[in-house]
Chains A and B, each alone.
Chain A
Protein backbone atom coordinates (compact mmCIF):
# COMPACT_ATOMS: atom_id res chain seq x y z
CA UNK A 1 0.00 0.00 0.00
CA UNK A 2 1.17 3.57 -0.62
CA UNK A 3 1.11 4.47 3.06
CA UNK A 4 3.16 1.36 3.81
CA UNK A 5 5.81 2.46 1.31
CA UNK A 6 6.24 5.95 2.75
CA UNK A 7 6.47 4.53 6.24
CA UNK A 8 9.09 2.10 4.95
CA UNK A 9 11.14 4.88 3.39
CA UNK A 10 10.96 6.87 6.59
CA UNK A 11 12.08 4.01 8.78
CA UNK A 12 14.84 3.12 6.35
CA UNK A 13 16.19 6.65 6.37
CA UNK A 14 16.04 6.82 10.14
CA UNK A 15 17.67 3.45 10.54
CA UNK A 16 20.40 4.34 8.08
CA UNK A 17 21.17 7.69 9.62
CA UNK A 18 20.77 6.94 13.27
CA UNK A 19 22.52 3.62 13.34
CA UNK A 20 25.69 4.37 11.42
CA UNK A 21 28.41 3.42 13.89
CA UNK A 22 30.68 6.03 12.32
CA UNK A 23 28.48 8.93 13.48
CA UNK A 24 28.17 8.71 17.25
CA UNK A 25 27.38 12.37 17.70
CA UNK A 26 23.86 12.21 16.27
CA UNK A 27 21.27 13.16 18.86
CA UNK A 28 18.67 10.64 17.85
CA UNK A 29 20.90 7.67 18.81
CA UNK A 30 20.39 8.52 22.48
CA UNK A 31 16.66 8.10 22.22
CA UNK A 32 16.89 4.98 20.09
CA UNK A 33 17.42 1.93 22.22
CA UNK A 34 18.29 -1.22 20.30
CA UNK A 35 14.72 -2.31 20.92
CA UNK A 36 13.48 0.52 18.76
CA UNK A 37 16.18 -0.10 16.13
CA UNK A 38 15.10 -3.72 15.94
CA UNK A 39 11.57 -2.57 15.23
CA UNK A 40 12.86 -0.28 12.49
CA UNK A 41 15.04 -3.01 11.00
CA UNK A 42 12.02 -5.32 11.06
CA UNK A 43 9.98 -2.67 9.23
CA UNK A 44 12.81 -2.31 6.71
CA UNK A 45 12.81 -6.03 5.94
CA UNK A 46 9.07 -5.84 5.30
CA UNK A 47 9.59 -2.86 2.99
CA UNK A 48 12.35 -4.69 1.10
CA UNK A 49 10.24 -7.84 0.79
CA UNK A 50 7.50 -5.76 -0.76
CA UNK A 51 9.98 -4.09 -3.16
CA UNK A 52 11.49 -7.42 -4.07
CA UNK A 53 8.17 -8.78 -5.27
CA UNK A 54 8.03 -6.12 -7.97
CA UNK A 55 11.74 -6.33 -8.75
CA UNK A 56 11.72 -10.13 -9.02
CA UNK A 57 8.64 -10.07 -11.25
CA UNK A 58 10.31 -7.63 -13.63
CA UNK A 59 13.65 -9.42 -13.57
CA UNK A 60 12.21 -12.90 -14.14
CA UNK A 61 10.21 -11.58 -17.09
CA UNK A 62 13.47 -10.16 -18.42
CA UNK A 63 15.05 -13.61 -18.08
CA UNK A 64 12.10 -15.06 -19.93
CA UNK A 65 10.56 -18.55 -19.73
CA UNK A 66 10.80 -20.87 -17.88
CA UNK A 67 12.14 -18.54 -15.15
CA UNK A 68 9.03 -16.40 -15.08
CA UNK A 69 6.61 -19.33 -14.87
CA UNK A 70 4.89 -19.53 -11.47
CA UNK A 71 5.41 -23.27 -11.00
CA UNK A 72 9.03 -23.31 -12.18
CA UNK A 73 10.64 -25.64 -9.70
CA UNK A 74 14.19 -26.51 -10.81
CA UNK A 75 16.51 -28.80 -8.87
CA UNK A 76 19.17 -27.06 -6.84
CA UNK A 77 22.52 -27.41 -8.55
CA UNK A 78 25.64 -27.66 -6.45
CA UNK A 79 27.08 -24.49 -7.95
CA UNK A 80 24.15 -22.48 -6.56
CA UNK A 81 25.40 -22.77 -2.97
CA UNK A 82 27.44 -19.56 -3.09
CA UNK A 83 24.85 -17.53 -1.22
CA UNK A 84 24.37 -18.36 2.47
CA UNK A 85 21.04 -20.12 2.66
CA UNK A 86 18.29 -19.03 5.02
CA UNK A 87 17.28 -22.66 5.44
CA UNK A 88 17.99 -23.91 8.93
CA UNK A 89 17.03 -26.72 11.28
CA UNK A 90 14.06 -25.62 13.42
CA UNK A 91 15.59 -26.33 16.83
CA UNK A 92 18.89 -24.83 15.78
CA UNK A 93 17.12 -21.66 14.66
CA UNK A 94 15.23 -21.41 17.94
CA UNK A 95 18.44 -21.87 19.94
CA UNK A 96 20.49 -19.19 18.15
CA UNK A 97 21.97 -16.58 20.46
CA UNK A 98 21.11 -12.96 19.68
CA UNK A 99 24.67 -12.48 18.42
CA UNK A 100 24.53 -15.51 16.12
CA UNK A 101 21.09 -14.51 14.86
CA UNK A 102 22.16 -10.97 14.00
CA UNK A 103 25.47 -12.14 12.54
CA UNK A 104 23.76 -14.62 10.23
CA UNK A 105 21.53 -11.85 8.90
CA UNK A 106 24.45 -9.43 8.56
CA UNK A 107 26.59 -11.91 6.64
CA UNK A 108 23.78 -13.02 4.37
CA UNK A 109 22.69 -9.54 3.33
CA UNK A 110 26.27 -8.34 2.84
CA UNK A 111 26.89 -11.21 0.42
CA UNK A 112 23.51 -10.81 -1.28
CA UNK A 113 24.21 -7.11 -1.74
CA UNK A 114 27.50 -7.87 -3.48
CA UNK A 115 25.88 -10.28 -5.90
CA UNK A 116 23.02 -7.92 -6.60
CA UNK A 117 25.49 -5.15 -7.41
CA UNK A 118 27.17 -7.44 -9.96
CA UNK A 119 23.75 -8.07 -11.46
CA UNK A 120 23.11 -4.34 -11.58
CA UNK A 121 26.19 -3.89 -13.74
CA UNK A 122 25.04 -6.50 -16.21
CA UNK A 123 21.35 -6.00 -16.89
CA UNK A 124 20.17 -4.68 -20.19
CA UNK A 125 17.15 -2.50 -19.63
CA UNK A 126 17.13 0.95 -18.05
CA UNK A 127 14.05 0.12 -15.99
CA UNK A 128 15.77 -2.89 -14.45
CA UNK A 129 18.94 -0.93 -13.72
CA UNK A 130 16.87 1.73 -11.99
CA UNK A 131 14.94 -0.79 -9.90
CA UNK A 132 18.05 -2.76 -9.00
CA UNK A 133 20.04 0.26 -7.90
CA UNK A 134 17.12 1.50 -5.77
CA UNK A 135 16.84 -1.93 -4.20
CA UNK A 136 20.59 -2.13 -3.59
CA UNK A 137 20.47 1.22 -1.80
CA UNK A 138 17.69 -0.03 0.48
CA UNK A 139 19.54 -3.29 1.07
CA UNK A 140 22.66 -1.32 1.97
CA UNK A 141 20.53 0.49 4.54
CA UNK A 142 19.45 -2.84 5.98
CA UNK A 143 23.06 -4.04 6.34
CA UNK A 144 23.99 -0.79 8.09
CA UNK A 145 20.96 -1.07 10.31
CA UNK A 146 21.83 -4.59 11.42
CA UNK A 147 25.46 -3.53 11.93
CA UNK A 148 24.26 -0.67 14.08
CA UNK A 149 22.23 -2.97 16.31
CA UNK A 150 25.18 -5.32 16.71
CA UNK A 151 27.51 -2.49 17.64
CA UNK A 152 25.09 -1.02 20.13
CA UNK A 153 24.75 -4.42 21.78
CA UNK A 154 28.51 -4.81 21.92
CA UNK A 155 28.77 -7.59 19.37
CA UNK A 156 31.67 -7.64 16.89
CA UNK A 157 30.71 -7.22 13.26
CA UNK A 158 31.39 -10.32 11.15
CA UNK A 159 34.22 -9.84 8.65
CA UNK A 160 32.66 -8.17 5.62
CA UNK A 161 32.86 -9.63 2.12
CA UNK A 162 36.17 -8.16 0.97
CA UNK A 163 37.47 -8.27 -2.57
CA UNK A 164 35.64 -9.13 -5.75
CA UNK A 165 32.03 -10.29 -5.59
CA UNK A 166 32.77 -13.76 -6.92
CA UNK A 167 34.63 -15.58 -4.13
CA UNK A 168 37.60 -17.67 -5.22
CA UNK A 169 36.66 -21.14 -6.31
CA UNK A 170 33.28 -20.06 -7.65
CA UNK A 171 33.46 -20.17 -11.45
CA UNK A 172 31.32 -17.87 -13.56
CA UNK A 173 28.49 -19.60 -15.36
CA UNK A 174 29.68 -21.45 -18.45
CA UNK A 175 26.59 -20.62 -20.44
CA UNK A 176 23.69 -18.23 -20.66
CA UNK A 177 21.11 -20.65 -19.23
CA UNK A 178 23.16 -21.48 -16.15
CA UNK A 179 23.83 -17.79 -15.60
CA UNK A 180 20.08 -17.21 -15.59
CA UNK A 181 19.66 -20.09 -13.15
CA UNK A 182 22.17 -18.40 -10.83
CA UNK A 183 20.15 -15.19 -11.03
CA UNK A 184 16.91 -17.10 -10.33
CA UNK A 185 18.34 -18.70 -7.19
CA UNK A 186 19.85 -15.42 -6.03
CA UNK A 187 16.41 -13.81 -6.06
CA UNK A 188 14.85 -16.85 -4.40
CA UNK A 189 17.42 -16.82 -1.58
CA UNK A 190 16.95 -13.10 -1.11
CA UNK A 191 13.19 -13.52 -0.85
CA UNK A 192 13.55 -16.36 1.65
CA UNK A 193 16.03 -14.39 3.75
CA UNK A 194 13.61 -11.47 3.95
CA UNK A 195 10.86 -13.82 5.16
CA UNK A 196 13.25 -15.35 7.67
CA UNK A 197 14.50 -11.97 8.89
CA UNK A 198 10.96 -10.92 9.78
CA UNK A 199 10.88 -13.92 12.13
CA UNK A 200 14.44 -13.34 13.37
CA UNK A 201 13.65 -9.75 14.27
CA UNK A 202 10.36 -10.75 15.89
CA UNK A 203 12.35 -12.99 18.22
CA UNK A 204 14.95 -10.29 18.86
CA UNK A 205 12.24 -7.73 19.63
CA UNK A 206 10.99 -9.86 22.49
CA UNK A 207 14.42 -10.64 23.88
CA UNK A 208 16.19 -7.28 23.77
CA UNK A 209 14.59 -4.78 26.14
CA UNK A 210 15.21 -1.15 25.06
CA UNK A 211 16.20 -0.03 28.57
CA UNK A 212 19.27 -2.28 28.81
CA UNK A 213 20.69 -1.01 25.56
CA UNK A 214 20.20 2.71 26.26
CA UNK A 215 22.53 2.27 29.23
CA UNK A 216 25.16 0.71 26.98
CA UNK A 217 24.82 3.56 24.50
CA UNK A 218 25.50 6.03 27.30
CA UNK A 219 28.48 4.05 28.57
CA UNK A 220 30.05 4.19 25.11
CA UNK A 221 29.83 7.96 25.12
CA UNK A 222 27.05 8.20 22.57
Chain B
Protein backbone atom coordinates (compact mmCIF):
# COMPACT_ATOMS: atom_id res chain seq x y z
CA UNK B 1 0.00 0.00 0.00
CA UNK B 2 1.08 3.49 -0.78
CA UNK B 3 1.38 6.60 1.38
CA UNK B 4 2.28 10.20 1.00
CA UNK B 5 4.89 11.62 3.29
CA UNK B 6 5.49 15.32 3.76
CA UNK B 7 8.83 16.61 4.98
CA UNK B 8 10.38 20.04 5.42
CA UNK B 9 13.17 21.31 3.21
CA UNK B 10 16.44 20.72 5.07
CA UNK B 11 15.09 18.00 7.32
CA UNK B 12 16.67 14.58 7.79
CA UNK B 13 14.31 11.80 6.71
CA UNK B 14 14.45 8.18 7.78
CA UNK B 15 12.30 5.72 5.84
CA UNK B 16 11.59 2.28 7.18
CA UNK B 17 10.91 -0.59 4.83
CA UNK B 18 7.44 -1.34 6.19
CA UNK B 19 7.57 -4.13 8.75
CA UNK B 20 10.96 -5.50 7.67
CA UNK B 21 13.58 -5.94 10.39
CA UNK B 22 16.40 -3.46 10.64
CA UNK B 23 18.95 -6.02 9.50
CA UNK B 24 16.95 -7.31 6.51
CA UNK B 25 18.51 -7.09 3.07
CA UNK B 26 16.56 -4.60 0.96
CA UNK B 27 16.94 -2.41 -2.07
CA UNK B 28 15.49 1.09 -2.21
CA UNK B 29 14.63 2.91 -5.39
CA UNK B 30 13.80 6.55 -5.99
CA UNK B 31 11.48 7.00 -8.98
CA UNK B 32 12.61 3.62 -10.25
CA UNK B 33 16.33 4.28 -9.94
CA UNK B 34 18.32 2.19 -7.45
CA UNK B 35 19.64 4.09 -4.46
CA UNK B 36 23.27 3.55 -3.47
CA UNK B 37 23.87 1.52 -0.29
CA UNK B 38 25.73 4.42 1.30
CA UNK B 39 22.35 5.98 2.05
CA UNK B 40 21.19 2.97 3.98
CA UNK B 41 21.39 2.26 7.65
CA UNK B 42 20.47 -1.41 7.72
CA UNK B 43 17.15 -1.54 5.92
CA UNK B 44 16.38 2.11 6.68
CA UNK B 45 16.84 4.74 4.06
CA UNK B 46 18.45 7.91 5.39
CA UNK B 47 18.05 11.15 3.45
CA UNK B 48 19.87 14.05 5.01
CA UNK B 49 19.02 17.69 4.48
CA UNK B 50 16.36 16.98 1.87
CA UNK B 51 15.69 19.43 -0.95
CA UNK B 52 12.82 19.86 -3.39
CA UNK B 53 14.48 17.72 -6.07
CA UNK B 54 14.25 14.71 -3.78
CA UNK B 55 10.45 14.64 -3.96
CA UNK B 56 9.23 11.49 -5.63
CA UNK B 57 8.26 7.89 -5.25
CA UNK B 58 10.40 5.75 -2.95
CA UNK B 59 10.06 1.96 -3.05
CA UNK B 60 11.62 -0.74 -0.95
CA UNK B 61 12.15 -4.28 -2.29
CA UNK B 62 13.13 -7.39 -0.40
CA UNK B 63 16.71 -8.35 -1.28
CA UNK B 64 16.43 -11.67 -3.07
CA UNK B 65 12.76 -11.98 -4.03
CA UNK B 66 12.30 -8.41 -5.27
CA UNK B 67 8.93 -8.26 -3.63
CA UNK B 68 7.70 -4.73 -3.13
CA UNK B 69 7.56 -4.32 0.60
CA UNK B 70 6.87 -0.63 1.01
CA UNK B 71 6.17 2.38 -1.14
CA UNK B 72 5.78 6.01 -0.25
CA UNK B 73 5.51 9.28 -2.07
CA UNK B 74 7.84 11.87 -0.57
CA UNK B 75 6.77 15.49 -0.95
CA UNK B 76 9.34 18.00 0.24
CA UNK B 77 7.98 21.42 1.08
CA UNK B 78 7.75 24.17 3.65
CA UNK B 79 5.19 25.20 6.23
CA UNK B 80 3.15 28.22 5.07
CA UNK B 81 4.42 31.74 5.58
CA UNK B 82 1.98 34.43 6.69
CA UNK B 83 -0.59 34.71 3.88
CA UNK B 84 -1.40 37.97 2.11
CA UNK B 85 -5.06 38.96 2.49
CA UNK B 86 -6.95 41.74 0.79
CA UNK B 87 -10.60 42.76 1.20
CA UNK B 88 -12.39 45.22 -0.99
CA UNK B 89 -15.85 46.47 -1.77
CA UNK B 90 -16.10 47.15 -5.51
CA UNK B 91 -19.88 46.71 -5.46
CA UNK B 92 -20.93 48.95 -2.57
CA UNK B 93 -23.46 48.72 -0.98
CA UNK B 94 -24.00 45.07 -1.94
CA UNK B 95 -21.04 43.65 -0.03
CA UNK B 96 -17.34 42.95 -0.34
CA UNK B 97 -14.90 40.27 -1.36
CA UNK B 98 -11.64 39.03 0.08
CA UNK B 99 -8.82 37.44 -1.84
CA UNK B 100 -5.58 35.93 -0.69
CA UNK B 101 -2.37 34.27 -1.71
CA UNK B 102 0.84 32.95 -0.21
CA UNK B 103 3.92 35.12 -0.56
CA UNK B 104 6.13 32.10 -1.31
CA UNK B 105 5.12 28.64 -2.54
CA UNK B 106 5.10 25.72 -0.13
CA UNK B 107 5.36 23.07 -2.89
CA UNK B 108 2.77 20.94 -1.10
CA UNK B 109 -1.02 21.22 -0.98
CA UNK B 110 -2.50 23.96 1.25
CA UNK B 111 -5.97 24.49 2.55
CA UNK B 112 -7.45 27.89 3.40
CA UNK B 113 -10.08 28.74 5.93
CA UNK B 114 -11.59 32.20 6.18
CA UNK B 115 -13.70 33.57 9.01
CA UNK B 116 -15.52 36.90 9.13
CA UNK B 117 -16.74 38.37 12.40
CA UNK B 118 -18.89 41.47 12.62
CA UNK B 119 -19.25 42.49 16.25
CA UNK B 120 -20.61 39.36 17.82
CA UNK B 121 -21.93 37.85 14.60
CA UNK B 122 -20.16 35.23 12.52
CA UNK B 123 -20.67 35.77 8.83
CA UNK B 124 -20.19 33.29 6.02
CA UNK B 125 -17.85 34.28 3.21
CA UNK B 126 -18.99 32.32 0.18
CA UNK B 127 -16.11 30.93 -1.80
CA UNK B 128 -15.95 31.85 -5.45
CA UNK B 129 -15.40 29.08 -7.99
CA UNK B 130 -13.33 31.42 -10.11
CA UNK B 131 -10.95 32.85 -9.27
CA UNK B 132 -9.84 30.49 -6.54
CA UNK B 133 -8.68 31.98 -3.27
CA UNK B 134 -11.52 34.44 -3.22
CA UNK B 135 -14.79 34.68 -1.34
CA UNK B 136 -17.59 37.21 -1.12
CA UNK B 137 -20.00 38.50 1.54
CA UNK B 138 -23.30 40.29 1.26
CA UNK B 139 -23.94 43.17 3.62
CA UNK B 140 -26.98 42.65 5.80
CA UNK B 141 -26.75 46.13 7.25
CA UNK B 142 -25.43 49.39 5.96
CA UNK B 143 -23.65 52.22 7.75
CA UNK B 144 -22.30 50.01 10.49
CA UNK B 145 -20.19 51.45 13.31
CA UNK B 146 -18.78 48.05 14.16
CA UNK B 147 -15.68 46.85 12.34
CA UNK B 148 -15.37 43.65 10.35
CA UNK B 149 -12.65 41.22 11.37
CA UNK B 150 -11.48 38.77 8.72
CA UNK B 151 -9.09 35.97 9.64
CA UNK B 152 -7.48 33.77 7.03
CA UNK B 153 -5.80 30.56 8.18
CA UNK B 154 -3.66 28.52 5.85
CA UNK B 155 -2.78 24.95 6.80
CA UNK B 156 -0.66 22.24 5.25
CA UNK B 157 0.94 19.02 6.45
CA UNK B 158 3.95 20.87 7.80
CA UNK B 159 2.31 23.70 9.71
CA UNK B 160 -0.12 26.57 9.71
CA UNK B 161 -0.16 30.33 9.66
CA UNK B 162 -2.74 33.09 9.63
CA UNK B 163 -3.37 36.77 9.13
CA UNK B 164 -6.15 39.11 10.24
CA UNK B 165 -7.66 42.23 8.74
CA UNK B 166 -9.89 44.60 10.69
CA UNK B 167 -11.72 47.36 8.88
CA UNK B 168 -14.72 49.67 8.79
CA UNK B 169 -17.38 49.21 6.13
CA UNK B 170 -16.37 52.51 4.49
CA UNK B 171 -12.64 51.98 4.46
CA UNK B 172 -12.58 49.17 1.89
CA UNK B 173 -14.78 50.77 -0.75
CA UNK B 174 -12.82 50.86 -4.03
CA UNK B 175 -14.67 50.67 -7.34
CA UNK B 176 -13.38 48.91 -10.43
CA UNK B 177 -11.92 51.24 -13.07
CA UNK B 178 -14.30 52.94 -15.53
CA UNK B 179 -15.15 50.93 -18.63
CA UNK B 180 -15.36 51.59 -22.35
CA UNK B 181 -13.10 54.63 -22.27
CA UNK B 182 -13.22 56.29 -25.69
CA UNK B 183 -11.25 59.32 -26.84
CA UNK B 184 -12.03 61.04 -30.12
CA UNK B 185 -10.73 64.11 -31.89
CA UNK B 186 -13.15 67.00 -32.37
CA UNK B 187 -13.49 68.10 -36.01
CA UNK B 188 -12.07 71.56 -36.68
CA UNK B 189 -10.59 71.78 -33.20
CA UNK B 190 -6.88 71.03 -33.26
CA UNK B 191 -6.51 71.33 -29.47
CA UNK B 192 -9.49 69.29 -28.33
CA UNK B 193 -10.14 65.68 -27.49
CA UNK B 194 -13.50 64.34 -26.42
CA UNK B 195 -13.28 61.63 -23.79
CA UNK B 196 -16.19 59.50 -22.64
CA UNK B 197 -16.51 56.43 -20.43
CA UNK B 198 -18.96 54.33 -18.49
CA UNK B 199 -19.44 53.46 -14.84
CA UNK B 200 -17.81 50.13 -13.99
CA UNK B 201 -20.43 47.41 -14.48
CA UNK B 202 -19.69 45.97 -11.03
CA UNK B 203 -20.98 49.16 -9.32
CA UNK B 204 -24.61 48.25 -8.70
CA UNK B 205 -26.33 51.55 -7.89
CA UNK B 206 -24.73 54.68 -9.37
CA UNK B 207 -27.99 56.59 -8.80
CA UNK B 208 -27.87 56.43 -5.02
CA UNK B 209 -24.12 55.97 -4.80
CA UNK B 210 -22.75 58.24 -7.48
CA UNK B 211 -19.16 58.02 -8.59
CA UNK B 212 -16.77 60.83 -9.26
CA UNK B 213 -13.93 60.56 -11.74
CA UNK B 214 -10.31 61.51 -12.21
CA UNK B 215 -8.96 61.90 -15.72
CA UNK B 216 -5.28 62.01 -16.58
CA UNK B 217 -3.73 62.68 -19.96
CA UNK B 218 -0.39 63.46 -21.53
CA UNK B 219 1.15 63.48 -24.98
CA UNK B 220 3.22 60.34 -25.53
CA UNK B 221 6.34 62.43 -25.90
CA UNK B 222 6.09 63.93 -22.38
CA UNK B 223 6.27 62.27 -18.97
CA UNK B 224 4.17 64.78 -17.03
CA UNK B 225 0.47 63.98 -16.66
CA UNK B 226 -2.29 66.54 -16.51
CA UNK B 227 -5.18 65.84 -14.18
CA UNK B 228 -8.84 66.76 -14.08
CA UNK B 229 -11.27 65.79 -11.32
CA UNK B 230 -14.91 65.52 -12.37
CA UNK B 231 -17.69 65.34 -9.83
CA UNK B 232 -20.33 64.10 -12.23
CA UNK B 233 -20.91 63.12 -15.79
CA UNK B 234 -19.11 60.46 -17.77
CA UNK B 235 -17.49 62.64 -20.39
CA UNK B 236 -15.04 65.49 -20.63
CA UNK B 237 -13.49 67.57 -23.38
CA UNK B 238 -9.79 68.25 -23.14
CA UNK B 239 -9.21 71.73 -24.53
CA UNK B 240 -5.47 72.19 -24.13
CA UNK B 241 -4.04 69.34 -26.15
CA UNK B 242 -0.93 70.04 -28.21
CA UNK B 243 -1.89 70.10 -31.85
CA UNK B 244 -1.02 66.98 -33.79
CA UNK B 245 0.40 65.05 -30.85
CA UNK B 246 -0.77 61.59 -29.91
CA UNK B 247 -2.19 61.47 -26.40
CA UNK B 248 -2.54 58.73 -23.83
CA UNK B 249 -5.62 59.04 -21.60
CA UNK B 250 -6.83 57.18 -18.51
CA UNK B 251 -9.75 57.53 -16.11
CA UNK B 252 -10.24 56.41 -12.48
CA UNK B 253 -13.39 56.31 -10.35
CA UNK B 254 -14.25 56.78 -6.68
CA UNK B 255 -17.42 56.83 -4.65
CA UNK B 256 -18.34 60.47 -4.20
CA UNK B 257 -17.90 60.39 -0.44
CA UNK B 258 -16.17 57.27 0.87
CA UNK B 259 -13.35 54.86 0.14
CA UNK B 260 -10.45 55.12 -2.28
CA UNK B 261 -9.79 55.66 -5.98
CA UNK B 262 -10.01 52.76 -8.39
CA UNK B 263 -7.01 51.64 -10.41
CA UNK B 264 -6.53 53.50 -13.69
CA UNK B 265 -8.62 52.33 -16.61
CA UNK B 266 -7.15 50.76 -19.72
CA UNK B 267 -5.27 53.52 -21.55
CA UNK B 268 -6.67 54.92 -24.77
CA UNK B 269 -4.77 56.81 -27.41
CA UNK B 270 -6.00 59.66 -29.55
CA UNK B 271 -4.62 62.50 -31.58
CA UNK B 272 -6.44 65.83 -31.97
CA UNK B 273 -7.89 66.76 -35.36
CA UNK B 274 -5.40 68.32 -37.69
CA UNK B 275 -6.09 70.35 -40.79
CA UNK B 276 -5.28 68.55 -44.04
CA UNK B 277 -2.71 70.75 -45.85
CA UNK B 278 -3.68 71.12 -49.51
CA UNK B 279 -0.59 71.89 -51.62
CA UNK B 280 1.94 69.26 -50.50
CA UNK B 281 3.46 66.78 -52.90
CA UNK B 282 1.79 63.35 -53.25
CA UNK B 283 4.38 61.64 -51.02
CA UNK B 284 3.93 64.14 -48.22
CA UNK B 285 0.13 63.81 -48.51
CA UNK B 286 0.29 60.04 -47.99
CA UNK B 287 2.46 60.48 -44.84
CA UNK B 288 0.00 63.12 -43.55
CA UNK B 289 -3.13 60.98 -43.94
CA UNK B 290 -1.61 57.92 -42.28
CA UNK B 291 -0.48 59.83 -39.17
CA UNK B 292 -3.22 62.44 -38.74
CA UNK B 293 -6.46 61.83 -36.81
CA UNK B 294 -9.49 60.23 -38.37
CA UNK B 295 -10.94 63.26 -40.03
CA UNK B 296 -12.35 63.16 -43.53
CA UNK B 297 -12.93 66.86 -43.51
CA UNK B 298 -10.93 68.80 -46.13
CA UNK B 299 -9.59 72.13 -44.91
CA UNK B 300 -11.24 74.90 -46.95
CA UNK B 301 -8.86 77.34 -48.69
CA UNK B 302 -9.73 80.22 -46.35
CA UNK B 303 -8.37 78.41 -43.30
CA UNK B 304 -4.97 77.87 -44.89
CA UNK B 305 -2.49 79.12 -42.37
CA UNK B 306 0.72 79.04 -44.33
CA UNK B 307 2.20 78.92 -47.83
CA UNK B 308 4.00 75.81 -48.94
CA UNK B 309 7.12 77.91 -49.27
CA UNK B 310 7.09 78.58 -45.52
CA UNK B 311 7.04 74.90 -44.54
CA UNK B 312 9.65 73.59 -42.13
CA UNK B 313 10.39 69.94 -41.67
CA UNK B 314 8.98 67.15 -43.78
CA UNK B 315 6.15 64.66 -43.94
CA UNK B 316 4.00 64.30 -40.81
CA UNK B 317 6.01 66.76 -38.77
CA UNK B 318 5.78 69.55 -41.34
CA UNK B 319 4.78 72.82 -39.73
CA UNK B 320 4.91 76.34 -40.95
CA UNK B 321 6.87 79.04 -39.15
CA UNK B 322 3.89 80.72 -37.54
CA UNK B 323 2.43 77.50 -36.18
CA UNK B 324 5.88 76.49 -35.00
CA UNK B 325 6.27 79.73 -33.07
CA UNK B 326 2.83 79.35 -31.51
CA UNK B 327 3.62 75.80 -30.41
CA UNK B 328 6.98 76.87 -28.99
CA UNK B 329 5.25 79.62 -27.05
CA UNK B 330 2.69 77.17 -25.61
CA UNK B 331 5.44 74.70 -24.67
CA UNK B 332 7.29 77.39 -22.75
CA UNK B 333 4.05 78.22 -20.90
CA UNK B 334 3.56 74.63 -19.85
CA UNK B 335 7.08 73.87 -18.64
Q: A: which residues have CB within 8 A of B?
A: 46, 49, 71, 73, 75-76, 85-90, 93-94, 185, 188-189, 192-193, 195-196, 198-199, 202-203, 206
Contact = CB atoms under 8 A, between A and B. Distances in A.
A87 B143 contact: yes
Given A89-B140, A189-B145, A94 B208 contact: yes
Interface secondary structure of A, over-half rule = helix
A73 B166 contact: yes
Nearest to B170: A195
Given A46-B257, A90-B93, A202-B208, A192 B147 contact: no
A190 B144 CA distance: 12
Contacts of B209: 199, 202
A203 B208 contact: yes
Contact of B208 (A86, A189, A199): A199
Nearest to A46: B257
Given A73-B149, A94-B208, A199-B257, A192 B144 contact: yes
A202 to B, nearest CB: 6
A93 B145 contact: no
Interface of B: 93, 119-120, 139-147, 149, 166, 170, 207-210, 256-258
Given A86-B145, A189-B145, A202-B208, 11 more contacts: A46-B257, A73-B147, A73-B166, A76-B145, A87-B143, A90-B140, A90-B142, A188-B145, A198-B258, A199-B143, A206-B208
The 6 closest A-B CB pairs, nearest first, are: A198-B257, A196-B143, A86-B143, A192-B145, A73-B147, A188-B145
B120 A88 contact: no
Contact of B143 (A73, A88, A94, A206): A88
Given A87-B142, A89-B141, A203-B208, A195 B147 contact: no
B145 A87 contact: yes
Given A76-B119, A195-B258, A203-B208, A87 B149 contact: no
A185 B139 contact: no
A162 to B, nearest CB: 26
A73 B149 CA distance: 9
Nearest to B94: A90
B208 A75 contact: no
B211 to A, nearest CB: 11
Contacts of B170: 195
Contact of A206 (B93, B145, B149, B207): B207
21 contacts: A73-B147, A73-B149, A75-B119, A86-B145, A87-B141, A87-B144, A87-B146, A88-B141, A90-B140, A90-B141, A90-B142, A93-B143, A185-B145, A192-B145, A193-B143, A195-B143, A196-B142, A199-B257, A202-B208, A202-B209, A206-B208
A221 B5 CA distance: 88
Given A71-B166, A73-B166, A75-B120, A198 B256 contact: yes
Contacts of B207: 206
Contacts of A206: 207-208
Nearest to B168: A192
B143 A192 contact: yes
A33 B82 CA distance: 57
Contacts of A195: 143, 170, 257-258
B93 to A, nearest CB: 6
B142 A93 contact: yes
B253 to A, nearest CB: 16
B257 A76 contact: no
A93 B142 CA distance: 8
A93 B209 CA distance: 13
A216 B84 CA distance: 57
Contacts of A87: 141-146
A57 B296 CA distance: 60
A76 B119 CA distance: 8
Nearest to A93: B142
A41 B210 CA distance: 17
Contacts of B141: 87-90
Contacts of A46: 257
A76 B146 contact: yes
Contacts of B119: 75-76
Nearest to B146: A76
A183 to B, nearest CB: 14
Contacts of B120: 75
Contact of B210 (A73, A193, A196, A202): A202
